[in-house]
Each structure stands twice: as structure tokens, then as C-alpha cells.
Amino acid sequence: MTTPPLKILITGGAGFIGSAVVRYLIQRTSASVLNVDKLTYAGNVLNLQEVAHSPRYGFLQADIANGAALAEAFAGFQPTHVLHLAAESHVDRSIDGAADFIHTNIVGTYQLLEAARQYWRQLPQARAEAFRFVHVSTDEVYGELPLDSPQAFTETTPYAPQNPYSASKASADHLVRAWHHTYGLPTIISNCANNYGPYQYPEKLIPLVILNALAGKPLPVYGNGEQVRDWLHVNDHASALYTLLLKGQVGDTYNIGAHNERKNIDVVKRICALLDELQPQPTPYARLITFVEDRPGHDKRYAIDASKISRELDWRPQYSFATGLRETVKWYTENRHWCEVVG
């Protein structure tokens, strides 16, 4: 007996990571996708222009905190899987105003869990057993690591969020675990490293530096730039999430990373060097680097131990940081119109 194609309800599919997942699913699998997205400032249908005309792609503009809209989406689409990516995700914005983060990341996750639970509990047994709810989270829920340390976050690292964004994501993770243990909803959680790649909203470090440099603007670096982040190409993240949909263990957590730790200042300098090569100017781009006052509660270091997903599910990243960053810089230099429209 052949297995019917997946029908995946994905939240936040017009955002940076979500759109990469949608493109991956439509272009590289036989799955059908319903993208539920509110289209806030960081979500844009332009991110999906490559797949928007596919008969396997559908779009619903809705707030995930709207339970009635979610119930209609589940009833109409009849998903086999849910992939929950919708989230407010910019730390600086969460510091300036946490309300949107509480609304989307916590209340929205609760409403989605409830809609999924009500839908799942009325499914025939075989479909209920095959159903999966994959919740996409962040390494920031673990807090921070010492700068000079071999430690990395594992799936058993205690939660210690230190800003409103990471606290809201930690809250969502706890809700997902509770809905699994209390109600039996077949959930899986992923915690990922910092993502980078094409279609990332220009407020994030890598696109901000690229676009500011091309415009001749200062390249702001918090503090001394010694903070360390672990970088994961968004296309690798998309393939990892598809792996979780197919093979992840219900009730389990998987860290997703590519073992690419870099200091922020080194990332900025590398972008400048790539731009010197790809878009040369009379003077080096690094002259634009400007150190600015550090943000409140800035975590020193993140690092993901992704050995579990590699060992248990046979997933491995395909992009080196050198290759991925070069392709990313090149994409932004060649897609200035997209940057102007969304920025």
C-alpha cells in the first residue's frame, strides 16, 4: 500500500525560515502545503514567488492567535502534519516592546495547539497515529555559554532565557511539551542555531551588514563584537525540518546546527572581504565598521551540539559557512529590488 503524499499546514511560511521550508517542500517533495501567515513586517509573499503558482501550494492570511480561523484551516485542508514556525523573533524588538512576542509566540502557540488537538482527536486511528506537530524553536531558550568553553547546548541543557524574545519561545516550548504529555498530541520540538541565507529580513546581522555596506552606511557592531553565534544555512534548516516530519520521535527534542561558531566581528569582516571581491569600491568596506553601545542583556555565546539528529535521524548540513556566506552575499547584491521592497 502506498503512503499518500503529506499535507503540511505550515505557520509563518512567508517569513525567512518559513518561506525556505515552503520552497523546499514544493520544489523537492510531493507534499501539499497550506501556508498560514499573518503577513507582519517580516513576512512577504515575494519570498514565495518561485512556488506561488504550484497547485500544491495554498495560502491563508490569518493570525495564529485567531482560534476560529485556525479551526477552519484544519477542517478545510485536513493536514497530515503541522509545522509551526510563526513567531516574532528579533531580540531588539522584544526589548523595545514585548507585547507582540507574548501575543504571537505564547498565545498564538496555545491557539494552534488547541486547534491541532481538536482536529487530531477526531481523526480515524491510522491518520491520528501518523499525525505530527513539529514546533520550531531556538537555541536562545538555553541562555548563554561562556566565551572560552568547549560546551555546547544539548537537548538536555536546562532552559535559562534572558530576554523577552527567548522567554516567549521558552514558554511556547513548555506549552508544546505539556500538550504532548497531558493530551497525547504527537509533538516534536526543534531548537536551531542562528539562520542565514537569502530572503532574510534586513534587520538581522548578515543582511543588515551587506545592505549598509552597499549603501555606504556604518556597519553597527554591538560592544566589541566578541559575541559568538553558531550559524546554520536556512536551506539546511529546511531539510532538517523535513527530516523531523518524516522520522522524528514523538515527544522528543532535536537541536539543529552546523557547527559554525563565529565571532560577530569576524562575520562582519568576512562580509566586507566578500564585498571587496564581488562589489569592489575605491576603499575597503571594513572602514565602515562602527562599534556601538551593547544592547541590554546581550548573550555572550551560543553553540549547538547537533550530534543527536545526525546520529539518530542521519541528517547532516550540506553548507559550509564559507560557501553559504559567499552565496548569501552574492544573493543580496543581485536582488536589490527585493531588499528595497521589503525593507
Q: Are strands 228-233 and 261-263 parallel, antiparallel or unpaired?
A: antiparallel
DSSP run (H or E) holding 56 = none
Instruction: Give the CA distances from residue 281 to residues 171, 213, 232, in Å, rounded to whole numbers and listed in that order.
Output: 47, 10, 29
Residue 291 Cα to chain centre, angstroms:
27
Residues annotated as catalytic are 139-140, 165
pLDDT confidence of residue 108: 97
> Residue 306: inside a domain, yes or no?
yes
Task: Please say if the pLDDT value at position 1 is more than 50.
Answer: no
Q: How far apart are CA 240 and CA 220, in angstroms?
A: 32
Residue 240 Cα to chain centre, angstroms:
11
Q: How far apart are CA 82 and CA 87, in angstroms?
A: 15
Q: How far apart are CA 249 and CA 162, in angstroms?
A: 29
CB 169 within 8 A of CB 177: no
Please give the mean pLDDT across all residues of the chain.
Answer: 95
Would you state the torsion angle of the CA atoms of residues 270, 271, 272, 276, taken in this order, to the nearest 10 degrees?
A: 100
**Which residues constitute the domain of residue 157?**
7-196+232-259+302-318
For residue range 316-340, list pLDDT tens digits in order. 999 999 999 999 999 999 998 898 8
> Residue 23: inside a domain, yes or no?
yes
For residue range 226-242, list pLDDT tens digits in order. 999 999 999 999 999 99
Instruction: Give the CA distances from residue 247 to residues 16, 25, 181, 241, in Å, rounded to whole numbers and listed in that order.
Output: 24, 16, 20, 10
> Residue 39: inside a domain, yes or no?
yes
In a 3-state reduction of DSSP, which class is residue 11?
strand
For 128, the grid coordinates are 491520528
> Residue 47: inside a domain, yes or no?
yes
How many domains is the chain partitioned into structurally?
A: 1
> Residue 276: inside a domain, yes or no?
no
Tell me the CATH number at 39: 3.40.50.720
pTM comes to 0.96
> Residue 175: inside a domain, yes or no?
yes
> Residue 162: inside a domain, yes or no?
yes
> Residue 246: inside a domain, yes or no?
yes
